[in-house]
A and B are shown apart, each in its own frame.
Chain A
């Protein structure tokens, strides 16, 4: 009964391909996030959704498109993958969008672009 799950765990693909990463939370939370951890170990927020509405959209290339079909799911679609997209992507969720709401992270998806 994993609280925040991501699929796949590992993803290896060629440059130029399009891929998706899925995230699901069973905590009943209203807010979900996508973070990227690059090779220098910086963990940076990319997007956040609250009740399926986009509330945070950092300076991310528009090749990245989040989609929230319902409150429990937040998927990340990446078009035309580039070498620099190689990173670990973490999904997270929190009860609300207040900064005092604890964020619960998924196990991460390691994306390798060849």
Chain B
């Protein structure tokens, strides 16, 4: 049961343009969402997060939007840079009162071209 889905395995965007990466979830208990970025041969690194009490969180060129009714979130990167080329993982967690447990999507590979 894939509770976090990233339906686009890859995305190619020109440098300077906007990159939009999408993520859908099915578990209505999820209320905290994160994006991680992963370069080849490295572990994922935290990028940005959003709590369900918000619908938008911005950090520099990165903005995450959350649509709770649609169970959908997206990551916008503006402007895209070649160094942004990586695999982006969406993750979610529920407030179950127990220890932090992240559920990850399968990732979207972003290629930023010159």
Contacts and interface: CB of A to CB of B under 8 A. Distances in A.
Are these two chains actual partners, yes or no?
Answer: yes
A99 B31 CA distance: 10
A97 B99 contact: yes
B40 to A, nearest CB: 10
Given A102-B46, A108-B43, A97 B106 contact: no
Contacts of A92: 43
Nearest to A98: B100
Given A92-B43, A107-B42, A31 B99 contact: yes
A39 to B, nearest CB: 11
Contact of A99 (B2, B41, B102): B102
B99 A41 contact: no
Q: Looking at chain B, what size class is its interface with the partner chain?
A: 20 to 34
Contacts, number: 60
Contact of A90 (B32, B44, B99): B44
Contacts of A42: 2, 104, 106
A94 to B, nearest CB: 7
Contact of B102 (A31, A50, A103): A103
A45 B42 contact: no
Contacts of B44: 43, 90, 105
B100 A101 contact: yes
- Of the listed residues A41, A48, A56, the one surrounded by the most CB atoms of chain B closer than 10 A to its CB is A41
Interface of B: 2, 32, 36, 41-46, 49, 89, 93, 95, 98-102, 104, 106-107
